[in-house]
Structure 1
Amino acid sequence: MAVRVFLSYAHESDEHASIVRELWLLLRSCGVDAVWDGVAAQSRRDWALWMGDQVRAADFVLVIASAAYRERAEGRVVEGRGVQWEARLIRDAFYADQVRGIERFVPVVVPGQTVAGVPDFLAPASSTVYEVPSLTLPGVESLLRFLLDQPAEIEPPLGPVPEFGRPSVERLPAGSEVFVGRVDELARLEAAVASSGRAVVVAVHGLGGVGKSTLAARFARLHADRFSPTWWITADSPTALDAGLADLAAEVVPGELPSEQRADAAVRWLTGHDGWLLVLDNLTAPADAARLLARVRTGTIVITSRRGSGWRGLAESVALAVLSPAEALDLLERCVRVEWPDADLTGGAELCAELGFLPLAVEQAGAYLAQARITPTAYLDLLARFPARMFTATAEGGEAERTVARVWKVTLDRLADTPLAGDLLRIMAWFAPEAIPRHLFDVNPDHVAVVEALGRLAAHSMITLDRDTIAVHRLVQAVSRTSDPADPHRDADDISEALEVATDLLAHVLSGLDHENPEDRPVYRVLLPHARALLDRVEVDGLAACRVLDRIGRYLAGAGDTAGALAYHARAVRGMSVLVGEEHPETLVARCGLAVARMAAGDHGGAIESLRVLDADAARLLGPSHPDVLVVRHELALAYGLAGDHDQAIALSRAVLDDVVRIFGADHPRTLACRNNLAAMYQYVGDHDRAISVLETIVAEAGRSSGVDGHLTLTGRANLATALLKRDPHRAIPILEQVLEEVDRRYGSDNPNTLVCRNNLAGAYLEVDDLDRAISLFESVLVDRRRVLGDGHPDTRETEMILTLARRVRESGGPAGSGAPR
């Protein structure tokens, strides 16, 4: 009976699918009953049942390796449901019978792919992977021999056992550590060792606690039969390195030697022999091994170090990052279940994420969970309430110095001659971990000192640098902002000072930005996650924090995040009222921001009430003609208009416009903005001719002052087109289409300004009875307004109402005409 084989693969490209099809044809031509889904796809079927039937019926399942297959099988991406289902079936069967699973589920690497595409659960680093270099009979010979049970070699009978001298010399750390993942990293390490010249030197570097020593030990054990001797030296100081070499001499150099000669004798022995492996663990700096590396011309040396630079010309460099989320969770589960097999690990994924997927932190947490018999959720609670204790907590028998807090203290001790490095790390601890903009630190007058301090932090793997941004591991941040009297790098006063400096830096950069200026919006987007991270951690708002709250709140209101804007503005007003008083000019500005946020959220009545009180206070304190008072009245007029009190809005808009023209001039941006408001009021009351007249003046003056594509010009053109809808809709539509294209490019599709333009354009289509285009655009606007503004926002309700009416008009077969609402 023919061997039945099922091909499991990812449809990641036409080329890859074609290669799998050719393999299927080749196998069938060689008598293998291979099953390929391309045949089944020619008829309708329940794919989940079909896949289960094929996996169960097959003698062998060939897992075709590819990057997409691995990502989908390990659940790292959403797409590829078919592969995810197949992989789950395979994993379940593998788990049920692992001995049979090793033979039955066969990883295969076809042309164009690598072993890195094999999922971790098939253990590609420790089990056979069949590589098909070409889709020919010689190319598939080893796979066919396995499937057809036709081995190329038959074991000969055993001969007599020879007698040798002493066993090979080996010194490695105790092999109790749990090892997960790291398939790609092991492959890079093996590739570096394979590209040997006279001697092979590889430096594995990364953040303290990321698993460098574990990876080196795993490599040494996997290749125990390749090297002799295999010798491990803890090389965290020149003295320790010499002591480790002296111990090696005692094993490999005959006779007794004086202690001061043993290290040199070991080096001489290494230079005269080949086939050995020397691991220098936790080397502080490349210079500490320079003398050894200069003399050695044979063998293999693997170095682990936190130093990420300085290896050029000395060693092949292999950078080690944190674990993937799935690997970190696997590590946590293994660490716990060794001692607590039936542990409830609900919340494990969240705990691993909070620990930044750092292996040392995950192992530390796992040992604590197993000993204390608590859940990951309970550990997270302890971490939030007692961070200083949890960062140093170990299970019984654990090494106190092998905790995240202690490991990084060693690195900072080495950077003590650059105090600014520790200062910068504590400052960055208050920001988001990724993409911290380097220009935040430009305010420091000693720019060279900042560059050098960041460079040293990066060299010791405490941060990651690129040209414009900085990244800090989230757990490094958490430890750096948690005080510990026993750690000089985590002094409470220094941490408080770092928070003040971080807040001042944000406030300083934001003070030079205008949230309404399209050119400044990208900078706001970069700063937003860092402002949010800092503000979420501040317990008492200082004046600088209140300024950050006010600036970020204005940006959020303009970006459509009205809930965030309201929360930040309310907090800014509370803080400033306490710090400088309710009548201080900065508090008045913050109160105006809060009222505008209420207006953006659709609370027009609340906005009017707040602005009226603020108008009276500001006029009394600053004078009725003060620019800040005019801003308040400008916003109050707009609020009246949005609330439907058009007479009041027009009267106040005219009064504000007269004052603004008198103070700033006819073509000042504030004047143009006031005219825009006045034109909007005219439109609300149906005085379209007067609105059009005002808007044509605005477009002309704004074009002279800010250019044809300036912000004010765009606003004027959009409002002019809206006003024209009642008089000349065919002239209005091309203007609205051009404005929408530019606004979308400048602000993005979710910005409230863009949503208004899209809504107005849909109304223009409705005005000229182009119902299909109008309804289609209204439908997309409604979806986005619900998502961005919420169901209860007035703009959302307006779009929903117009869309309903437009659908009724289309169903009745009548024209929309001039009676269509907008």
Structure 2
Amino acid sequence: MVNLPLEALRPIAEIDAPPGIDNLPVQPTHFVGRERELERLDAALLVSGPVLVQAVHGLGGIGKTTLVAQWAATRDHGHAPLRWITADTAASVERGLAEFATALQPVLAQALTVAQLADRALQWLSTHHDWLVVLDNVENHSDIADILARAHSGRILITSRRATGWQTATTIVRIDVLDPDESVALLIDTMTIDGPRNSDGDSELCAALGHLPLAIDQAGAYLAQNPLLTPRDYLTMLSLYPAEMFQHGAEVTDPQRTIARIWQVTVDKVTTAHPAAIDVLRRLAWFAPDDIPVNLFAGLAAPPALHAAIGALAAYNMISVHSGSASVSIHRLVQAVARTPDIDNLHDSEAALERAHADAAAVLLRALPGHPHPSTWATWRRLLPHVDTLIAHHDHHNNANLLATTTDILNLTGQFLDDQGSHNQAIDYIQRALIDSERAVGTDHPRTLTTRNNLALAYRSVGRFAEAIPLYERTLADRERVLGIDHLDTLTSRNNLADAYRSVGRFAEAIPLYERALADSTEALGIEHPSIVSSRNNLAAAYESTGRLTEAIALFELTIDDSERILGTDHPTILTSRNNLAAAYQSAGRLAEAVQLFELTLDARERILGVDHPDTLTSRNNLAAAYQSAGRLAEAVQLFELTLDARERIQGIDHPHTLTARNNLATAYQSSGRLTEALSLLELAMTECEQLLGADHPDTFVARCVLAEGYERANRLSDAGQLYERALADIEPAFGPDHPSTLFIRSILARLRGQGHLADG
């Protein structure tokens, strides 16, 4: 995390787009015709309305992306900024939005997660006008629903192979194959780049290629590289590769068959001089089509041979090279062909493809950073599309090497996504990693046990404790059996299970586990090991939760003394321990000491971590709560308002931490007698918790109880009782009948029934 400058703290509505952040793809070198389609896009500018939505659809290889890129680069559309977002998956849409937010304010790149950046971009679109966003290659309408719902007063241009579902579009443009005259013009334009050529057979060749722009472009590039050949000669070579060569086990569309035939002609020519070219294409087949870093070609050939092969493929229009970003791109149809076995040489072809898939996975795994840290986020975000694509094509379950590699990729990526707040996608990836690991190395292998632990952690991140706890319990039992009771992984599992027990109020089980984890860690690692600090902190927090405040405070104080000696006075872990000790002082009624320590901790975190670091916001919230407990309500309200403003601005209005901040401010308003403002915020907080987190999430339960308390204070006792009854119905099955929260709510309901405000239940 970074200490954000003042510019980053301004409300999003006040952020102007800096010049030079357009990311339009390179303008097509060869572009002919399409005047009717270009004019239809122009005409939409004349339509009035808050936001213009245009959809361009057609077959793969038909030229949708090329048309829109040409229009945006050459027509006077008058919109800025222009952001091009690859939209073939929900994840790629989110990443495109995150890149936009980073372009608006680069300093946020290492301060916010992908989800937070994407939400910030949507906030920007909703508060500005005259922008243009291109959503390229949309596969599912739901992937772009948030943009269509939240973006106003700008222009959205969509390309897609889908012909239906664009009812909200102002203009719908269907792209067909080129007219015969346009087709010939494109072929001649491409093949004569170095001077006039014999064009014998041009019309026949274009007809054989189905007037498909991508096919004509690649055929023209081949002829440009082989000046002694005519279009008729090329047509003769093409006849050697029937369309059926591409089809193997699945129905294939005509554009794919056409590209398959051209692909084989080109590969035969290029690999004669550059044998590595076929390996380059086969590796490219498993990654996302755009922005493929050149370091993912590692190991294919010696650098001179590799560079020569890449140059030859670019000359034949099989790939595009982007020197500025040290990357290449490839058309999806060319990738599809490169992933398809040759029906005439099926056995060798399938084996080569399987090797290429395994090699692509191995080189991608080596390129992925390790533990997610802000300094690695940019690399992660660039490689995520390639992870998504490689995993999407992962169906070679009999390849043990591939299974082991993809397990590690899925595991690492799942941890990064969980860290970034993309919890559901993280769960999906780690679940797949667990399946692959069990298949590859068995249920008791350390890799499998680590994956199972990571899946439990991801479940816990979204409040799915009913699934997380059994998984933690199984992992701990398996690690004790397989690795031993004192292994570091076993100690970690013991602590994780204790954390999960504490989260659901099972303190009688959590505390013995914490105590054992601390004792075992101390014996195995020594009292000076940094992890001992974390173990003590966890145990002290559990003591505090059960009212054992004297023990908690003593342990927190010991932790701080030891950790300051081991880690230094300003280490973030020390600041966490001080914050926890201040909370324990507050619970023990030692408010003066609590306030003083909260103030010192907030000051240190602002100085060391920055004013908008999550830990800083937590400290500001905690100090506000201490002020509220001490009756310093004006100061409490002011700090809570600052915290809510920062959460909304940095993390978005729908982030779970923002919901908590809204809840806390409402309670301060309530304590100050500002009941109308309090209830308005509390009702909003509860509704958003139910929508975003689910009715059964712990934060939703808290929001419901706090709102019920607000209704009580406002003398809306019937409303309060109904909410308490709903809260009891949610918490009792999850936490049990003897949990303190269950007993507390039951006592409130009994009181309300006794006063006649509720019917007997």
Match of 2:220 among 282, 285, 288: 282
Aligned to 2:370: 513
1:776-821 Cα offsets, whole Å, 9 max, x none, are: 88778767755664443323333343345346546789xxxxx999
Partner of 1:759 in structure 2? 660
Partner of 1:608: 469
Contact 1:236 1:284 (C-alpha < 8 Å) held by counterparts? no
Offset at 1:467?
Answer: 1.9
Worse-matched range after superposition: 620-629 or 576-585: 576-585
Residue 415 of structure 1 corresponds to 270
**What amino acid sits opposite 2:370 in the alignment?**
L
Would you say the 8 A contact 1:588–1:618 is kept in 2?
Answer: yes
Q: How big is each residue's C-alpha offset from its partner over 1:183-235, in whole Å with a ceiling of 9 and x where there is no partner?
A: xxxxxxxxxxxxxxxxxxxxxxxxxx997997686699xxxxxxxxxxx6995
Q: Structure 1 280/684 Cα, relative in aligned 2: closer, same or farther at 3 Å? A: closer
Cα separation, partners in 2 of 1:234 and 1:424, compared to 1, 3 Å:
closer
Please state which structure has a larger fraction of its residues in helix.
2
2:77 to 103, 108, 117: 117
Output the TM-score relative to the length of structure 1: 0.49
Separation in structure 2 between the aligned mates of residue 432 and residue 424 of structure 1, nearest angstrom: 14
Structure 1 position 525 matched with structure 2 position 401: no
Residues 189-200 of structure 1: pairs in structure 2 closer than 5 A: none
Q: How does 1:442-521 map to 2 (within 5 A)?
A: 442=298, 446=302, 449-461=305-317, 462-465=319-322, 466-486=324-344, 491-510=349-368, 513-515=370-372, 517-521=373-377
**1:234–1:244 CA contact under 8 A, matched in 2:** no
In structure 2, distance between residues paired with 1:785 and 1:623: 42
Q: Per-residue deviation at 1:626? A: 0.6
CA-to-partner distance for each residue in 1:512-544, whole Å, 9 max, x for gaps?
5114x3434444333333222222221244121
SS in 2 for 1:663: helix
Contact 2:543 2:552 in 1 (8 A): yes
What is the Cα deviation at residue 624 of structure 1?
A: 1.0
Do residues 433 (structure 1) and 313 (structure 2) align? no
Q: CA deviation at 1:635?
A: 0.8
Q: Does 1:406 align with 2:282?
A: no
Q: What's the TM-score, normalizing by structure 2?
A: 0.52
How far residue 561 of structure 1 moved from its aligned partner, in angstroms, is: 3.7
Measured in 2, the distance between the counterparts of 1:716 and 1:71 equals: 63
- Gaps of at least 5 residues in structure 2 are 1-37, 56-72, 80-175, 203-216, 232-242, 398-402, 618-646, 718-740, 746-761
> Could you tell me which residue of structure 1 aligns to residue 102 of structure 2?
none
RMSD (Å) for aligned C-alpha atoms: 5.5
Q: Is 1:560–1:789's contact at 8 Å kept on the other side of the alignment?
A: no
Output the CA distance in 2 between the equivalents of 1:749 and 1:490. 54
Question: Bigger shift: 383-392 or 635-644?
Answer: 383-392
Secondary structure, in 3 states, of the residue corresponding to 1:430?
coil
Residue 487 (structure 2) aligned to one of 599, 604, 626? 626
2:706 aligned with 1:798, yes or no?
Answer: no
| AA matched with 1:632 | S
Give yes or no for contact 1:692–1:724 (8 Å, CA) kept in 2. Answer: yes
Quick one: distance in 2 between partners of 1:214 and 1:705?
Answer: 78
Distance 2:565 2:256 in 1: 65
Residue of structure 2 in register with 1:175 after alignment: none
Instruction: Quote the Cα distance in structure 2 between the aligned partners of 1:680 and 1:502.
Output: 46
- Describe the superposition over 1:738-777 as per-residue Cα deviations: whole angstroms up to 9, x where unpaired: 5782128999956999845873695488469467898788
Residue 477 of structure 1 aligns to which amino acid in structure 2?
Q
> Structure 2: how far apart are the matches of 1:571 and 1:481?
22
Q: Aligned-pair distance for 1:691?
A: 4.2
% identity of equivalent residues: 27
* Aligned partner of residue 343 in structure 2, secondary structure: coil
Question: Shift of residue 638 of structure 1?
Answer: 0.7
Aligned partner letter, 1:116: D
Once residues 40 and 570 of structure 2 are traced to their aligned partners in structure 1, the CA distance between those partners, rounded to angstroms, is 44
In structure 2, the residue matched to 1:538 is 394
Deviation at 1:500, TM superposition (A): 0.8
Q: Secondary structure in 1 aligned to 2:325?
A: coil
Residue 488 of structure 1 and its aligned partner are, at CA, apart by: 10
Q: How does 1:300-311 map to 2 (within 5 A)?
A: none
1:804/1:233 CA distance change after superposition, 3 Å: closer
In the superposition, relative to structure 1, how do residues 243 and 433 fare at CA in structure 2: closer, same or farther (>3 Å)? closer
Q: Is the 8 A contact 1:561 1:788 kept in 2?
A: no
Tell me how far apart the structure 1 counterparts of residues 249 and 417 of structure 2 sit (CA, whole Å): 31
Question: 1:421, 1:453 within 8 Å by CA — same for their partners in 2?
Answer: yes
Read off the aligned partner of 2:276 and give its amino acid letter.
L
Distance 1:457 1:523 in 2: 26
Partner of 2:10: none
For 1:426, give the aligned amino acid.
Answer: R
Residue 577 of structure 1 corresponds to which residue in structure 2? 438
- Taking the aligned partners of 1:519 and 1:440, their CA distance within structure 2 comes to 20
Which secondary structure state, in structure 1, belongs to the residue aligned with residue 380 of structure 2?
Answer: helix
Cα distance in 1 for residues equivalent to 2:344 and 2:468: 52
Partner Cα distance (1:667, 1:507) in 2: 34
Aligned 8 A contact 2:560 2:574 in 1: yes
* Distance change in 2, residues 1:288/1:438 (3 Å): closer
Give SS of 1:530's match: helix
* Aligned residue number for residue 81 of structure 1: 49
Question: 1:386 aligns to what?
Answer: 250
Counterpart AA for 2:329: A
Deviation at 1:632, TM superposition (A): 0.9
Shift of 1:627: 0.6
**Are residues 390 and 757 of structure 1, via their aligned partners in 2, closer, same or farther at CA, if it must alter by over 3 Å?**
same
The structure showing larger relative contact order (alpha-carbon pairs under 8 Å, at least 6 residues apart) is: 2
Give, in angstroms, the shift of residue 659 of structure 1.
Answer: 2.1
CA contact (8 A) 2:575 2:601 kept: no
1:743 matched to 2:614: yes
Counterpart amino acid of residue 544 in structure 2 = Q
Question: In the TM superposition, what whole-angstrom CA distance separates every residue of 1:288-337 from its partner, at most 9, and x where no partner exists?
Answer: 779xxxxxxxxxxxx9xxxxxxxxxxxxxxxxxxxxxxxxxxxxxxxxxx
Query: Residue 221 of structure 2 contacts residue 315 of structure 2 at CA under 8 Å; is this kept in 1?
Result: no
Q: 1:648 to 1:117 in 2, by over 3 A?
A: closer
The total of aligned residue pairs comes to: 492
Report the alpha carbon displacement of residue 631 of structure 1 after superposing the two structures with TM.
Answer: 1.2
Distance 1:288 1:699 in 2: 75
Aligned-residue offset at 1:603: 3.2
Given residue 639 of structure 1, which amino acid in structure 2 is its aligned partner? A
- Sort the Cα spacing of 1:386 and 1:682 in 2 relative to 1 into closer, same or farther, 3 A: same
Q: Secondary structure at the match of 2:375?
A: coil
8 Å contact from structure 1 (residues 67, 116) kept in 2: no
Summarize the Cα distance change of 1:218–1:681 in structure 2 as closer, same or farther, 3 Å threshold. same
Q: Distance in 2 between matches of 1:722 and 1:383?
A: 67
Q: In structure 2, what residue type is equivalent to 1:793?
A: H
* Distance (Å, rounded) in 1 between the aligned partners of 2:39 and 2:581: 53
Which is higher, the Rg of structure 1 or of structure 2?
1
Distance in structure 2 (CA, Å) of the matches to 1:564 and 1:521: 17
CA–CA distance in 2 between the matches of 1:576 and 1:660? 28
Q: What residue number does 1:145 align with?
A: none
Checking the alignment, whether the CA contact within 8 Å between 1:669 and 1:712 is kept in structure 2 is no
Distance across 2 between alignment mates of 1:710 and 1:384: 60
Say if 1:446 and 1:608 are closer, same or farther in 2 by CA, change over 3 A: same
Query: Is this contact kept in 2: 1:692–1:723, CA < 8 A?
Result: yes
Extract unaligned runs of 5+ from structure 1: 1-65, 89-112, 120-208, 221-231, 248-278, 291-302, 304-364, 366-381, 394-402, 814-818
Deviations 1:19-47 (A, max 9, x none): xxxxxxxxxxxxxxxxxxxxxxxxxxxxx
